[in-house]
Each structure stands twice: as C-alpha cells, then as structure tokens.
Amino acid sequence: MDSLKHTPFNGAIRRGVPAARLLLFAIALALLTAAGCAKKELPRQSAPVMAAGTADARPAAGTEPAPQNPPAPDLQPAFPLTEKTKAAPSGKKKAPARTTTERLLQSAGRDPGAVQPEAGFHLAVPDTLGDGEAFLVEFSAAGAEGLELGWRGKTLSVTEADKAGRFMALLPVPLDEKAKSLPLALTLVWSAGKKEAMKADVPVKKRSYAVQRLKVAPKHVSPPPDMLPKIERDRAEMRAAVGKVTPRRYWSLPLLRPVPGQVTSLYGLRRVFNNVPKSPHKGLDLDAAEGDPVASAEAGTVVLVSEHYYGGKTVVVDHGLGVLTAYLHLSGYNVSVGQTVRRGDIIGFIGSTGRVTGPHLHLSLYVMGVSVNAATCTAM
C-alpha cells in the first residue's frame, strides 16, 4: 500500500460538443489494498514465511490447514483507502514520473495539470496493483450514462448509477499474474451516445505470499483416483458459477464479514504438503464453531448450492457486475438456487464438510471469474 501513489486532479472540463456545455464530473479509481480486514492477519507477506516444521507438523483445527504458529497480528486499514501522495524526497529535485492517472487523462487529450477544485473534476488511479487483488473504479458526472472498462480481454459495461450518481466496478488482477503491467481501457459514455476513451498501462507489483510447509497423511495430499471425475465436475460447476457477470450491481464496499471469527489462513498461502506444492489457497479461512450462522457478505442472488469433494457444502452468491462470494465447508444450507438474499441474510451454517481439519468458513471472492483476496474488500 505504501508503494502506491494516487494523484488527484481537479479541473474544469469544457466539452467541445453541442453548445459547449460545461460538464462537471468526477472520476475516482482507487485501489483496495492488500491490507487485511481481519483482527488477526499475517504480516503483509513481504517475505516468504516457513510457518510450520516439516517433521511432525499437523494442521491446526479449523483450517485446511492453518500455520502452527500464527504470526503476529498486523492491523491495517482495510477500506476505504484515502488517497495519498508520496512526499517529495528532500534534496535533489527530480521530475516526477507520469502517473497512470496522467497517462489516462493525456490519452483522452485532457490536461492533467489543470486544477480547479471547485469544478469537481477528479481522477485518481493507483500506480501499481498487486497480484491477487481487486481494485475499485468509480465514476460520476453530470450527463454521464455509463462507463465501459476494457480489462484483461474482457469488457465490463456499467450502465446503472447508484442513488449518489456513481457508476462503480471492481476489476481483478489474478494471483501470480506474470505481466509487469496490464492495459486499462476506460470509456466514458455520455448522453446521446457520445463516448470518450482513455487508455493506460497499469503496473502490476508481484506480492510475496507466505509459504506453509506441512506433513500430512498421504490421503490428504492425493485424492482417491475414483474421485477424480467428481472433482473435475465440481471444478467445472464452480467455474461456471463464479464466472457470471450480471448487469446490475448489488454490492457496495466494504463487504460484510460473514462470521466474526479471526482469520486462520490467508489468501494466497503457498501450501506444500509432504514437499509437494499444492495450488495456493484461494480464499480466506475464518474461525467459527460448528453450526454458527454464516451471513451473506452482500445482497445478491444464490447461484450455486452444491456439495463438492474439496469444498464440501458450498454456496455461491452473485452480487452483480461480476462480483461473487463463495462459502465453503458448510454443515447445512439456508438458501436455494435462484433465491435473492439481502446483505447479512443467513445463507448456511458452519461445518467441516470437504477437505478440512475442523469447522471454519472458507470465504472466496471472485471478480469477473478471477479469485482475489477477499480481505482487500471486506470490513472488520
């Protein structure tokens, strides 16, 4: 987070189109940081952590599994991020590098140097995104009808503003994204169908996610061969559910924390079982007791209720505009497919179904089909 620089701009915009109307508009793109939302979080994963010994380490109860020695808590503000600008280094004067915001503005022929705060023009883009993180795009303007975002080969259209007149979207950077930067194409849609395009490359900063080495019974590492078709069906079912992009936004940030318990295993954790690297942990494990109610992180529509080999009893809720949450290892369901839920409605109950060592909630956040760190978008 501290490496991010947000540069606000304020300026009047005179439209060159009919009657040279003066339109006031505000755009804000803000990065949700990797800062955790939980009371107890691993440190900021700046260096690999060997969390457990290899000799006789056993998974702690209530995770799949958790580090033996949970690192010290690291409290970070989760949301919203305030914009901040790095203080200029003392001594030598150095011309600042152009920010992503400036590149976006200049690509649209705007003057990023024009600053007239009273005009309500505001644009801010994070200079760097981390892999495994989502970032927020927010836009509002008099005369605006929508926002189109081109990101990672997909286009997301935001055509509905909220009561405050804001068009909002979340965009994902996948865990282990290899690209050093990703192109963002942002199109403002004005009334009468006029469009204004902006483009910039957004640098991606590789996060260092912790490594956890565990020695477990071999059956926990390799599933029985006769279960492989079921596991493949589960994956296909999950992919189809979390890849949905529906046009109406039901979410606002931060998302609600579904259970109050502390985080026992972080998103992105590299797990090595018996020296065999397994896929990274694509969720957040929250401590909870068997039978505890699980609240929906936001309003939406239930799109999956199914029992999977690894995930156990699973519920997926679609919150719109490509944002979905998944709740794994439940003992029972309180919803059915197609049902609409409000923020905080009980969707099921804590359990230990699937591949787990004890009751807990595995919470996953998906944005446009991509798993991202739920801790970056969820409230305490």
Rounded least distance, CB 63 to Zn ion, Å: 7
Q: Considering only 113-121, 159-167, 201-209, 277-285, which stretch makes contact with Zn ion by CB under 5 A?
A: 277-285
Rounded least distance, CB 123 to Zn ion, Å: 37
Q: Determine how many CB atoms are found less than 10 A away from the CB of residue 277.
A: 11
Q: Determine how many CB atoms are found less than 10 A away from the CB of residue 276.
A: 10
Give 30 or 242: the residue with its C-beta nearer to Zn ion.
242
Give 285 or 292: the residue with its C-beta nearer to Zn ion.
285
Q: Which residue has the tokens 């505890």?
A: 292
Q: Considering only 41-49, 60-68, 112-120, 307-315, which stretch makes contact with Zn ion by CB under 5 A?
A: 60-68
Give 36 or 283: the residue with its C-beta nearer to Zn ion.
283
User: Of 301, 362, 368, 377, which lies in the binding site for Zn ion, with binding defined by CB under 5 A?
Assistant: 362
Is the separation of the CB atoms in 308 and 267 below 8 Å?
no
Give 280 or 283: the residue with its C-beta nearer to Zn ion.
283
CA angle at residue 143 from 142 to 149, to 5 degrees? 100
- Residue 260 has phi, psi (to 5 degrees) of -80, -15
Take residue 156 and report the two structure tokens written for it. Answer: 């997301």
Take residue 78 and report the two structure tokens written for it. Answer: 């989760």
Give 166 or 360: the residue with its C-beta nearer to Zn ion.
360
Take residue 236 and report the two structure tokens written for it. Answer: 């296909």
Give 139 or 273: the residue with its C-beta nearer to Zn ion.
273
Take residue 164 and report the two structure tokens written for it. Answer: 């405050």
Q: Considering only 37-45, 89-97, 281-289, 337-345, which stretch makes contact with Zn ion by CB under 5 A?
A: 281-289
Q: Is 293 helix (H, G, I), strand (E, B) or coil?
A: strand
Give 5 or 362: the residue with its C-beta nearer to Zn ion.
362
Rounded least distance, CB 65 to Zn ion, Å: 9
Rounded least distance, CB 311 to Zn ion, Å: 9
- Residue 329 has phi, psi (to 5 degrees) of 70, 25
3-state secondary structure 172-205: EECCCCCCCEEEEEEEEEEHHHCEEEEEEEEEEE
Q: Considering only 48-56, 157-165, 284-292, 318-326, which stretch makes contact with Zn ion by CB under 5 A?
A: 284-292
Would you give the binding string for Zn ion spanning residues 318-357, x where CB under 5 A is met?
----------------------------------------
Rounded least distance, CB 81 to Zn ion, Å: 26
Give 129 or 238: the residue with its C-beta nearer to Zn ion.
238
283 binds Zn ion (CB under 5 A): yes
Number of residues counted as binding Zn ion (CB under 5 A): 4
Rounded least distance, CB 283 to Zn ion, Å: 4
Rounded least distance, CB 373 to Zn ion, Å: 12
Rounded least distance, CB 32 to Zn ion, Å: 20
Residue nearest to Zn ion (CB): 362
Q: Considering only 34-42, 78-86, 113-121, 358-366, which stretch makes contact with Zn ion by CB under 5 A?
A: 358-366
Is the separation of the CB atoms in 94 and 44 below 8 Å?
no
Q: Which residue has the tokens 């282990």?
A: 176
d(CA 324, CA 281): 17
Sorted by sequence, the CB contacts under 8 Å of residue 112 that are 6+ apart come out as: 9, 101, 102, 105, 106, 123
C-alpha distance across the termini of the chain, in Å? 18
Take residue 354 and report the two structure tokens written for it. Answer: 């699937």
* CA-closest candidate to residue 360, choices 273, 231, 242, 262: 262
* CA-closest candidate to residue 267, choices 128, 64, 74: 64
Rounded least distance, CB 363 to Zn ion, Å: 8
Give 199 or 220: the residue with its C-beta nearer to Zn ion.
220
Residues that bind Zn ion (CB under 5 A): 64, 283, 285, 362
